[in-house]
Copies of this chain bind each other. A is one copy, B any other.
Amino acid sequence: MPDSASALSLVLGGDPTLYAIVRLSLIISLSAALLAAILGFPLGAYLALARFPGRAFLTVLVSAFMGLPPVVVGLAVYLMLSRSGPLGFLNLLFTPPAMIAAQTLLVLPIVVALTRQTVEDLWIEYRDELTAMRVGPLRRVVTLLWDARFSLVTAFLAGFGRAAAEVGTVMIVGGNIEGFTRTMTTAIALETSKGDLPLAMGLGLVLIVIVVVVNALAWSARRVGEVRAG
């Protein structure tokens, strides 16, 4: 990271270091959001449909875990992956895969809770028909997720937004190592602590632009799908 205050030129100039950081940020937050969606969509749908003892409790818990502090999640993953922790032998601490894993944990409750709400609202409408058709649990989940897919884009984007924006877990688990685990958010935190606020703001704007682009792509995909579905 060049230490010049000319944030603008850095941002606009296609600096290769910046490019690498942007790339890593995107890879990590998109991977985490995708993993969280792959796990969270079915889990959220299941939570909306299933009736089992403790379901209400689990619902509250998942909804509460939208408020998991990133630092705490980061620490928990850190303690697991640390050399003195149970998974230390994996040698994953301070690597991108560890960052993805930690962010997935952080984002998962968000995706599950929002999916649960969306699917539950649809389930109210579909319940009788699907029950009358004797559609089994697995197929219910698939059907509701498919039919709610356009609304679920918002759940995915909420997860992605959280992953892209947060700094706590990636800082602790990744270590903010230059050229290796430095992401946009940890770079912003670093520049802030160096007192280079203009550069920090400039990087922040770059990050926001990236997030906007990802959102615009997701929305366009959704739009295309909606038009095709009629």
Contact = CB atoms under 8 A, between A and B. Distances in A.
A157 interface: yes
B75 A167 contact: no
Contacts of A110: 158, 161
A76 B158 contact: no
A212 to B, nearest CB: 4
Interface centre among A60, A71, A164, A184 (most CB of B within 10 A): A71
Chain multiplicity (copies)? 2
A211 interface: yes
B114 A197 contact: no
Contacts of A157: 63-64, 66-67, 113
A71 B188 contact: yes
Given A121-B151, A154-B117, A167 B64 contact: no
A192 interface: yes
A167 B68 CA distance: 11
A59 interface: yes
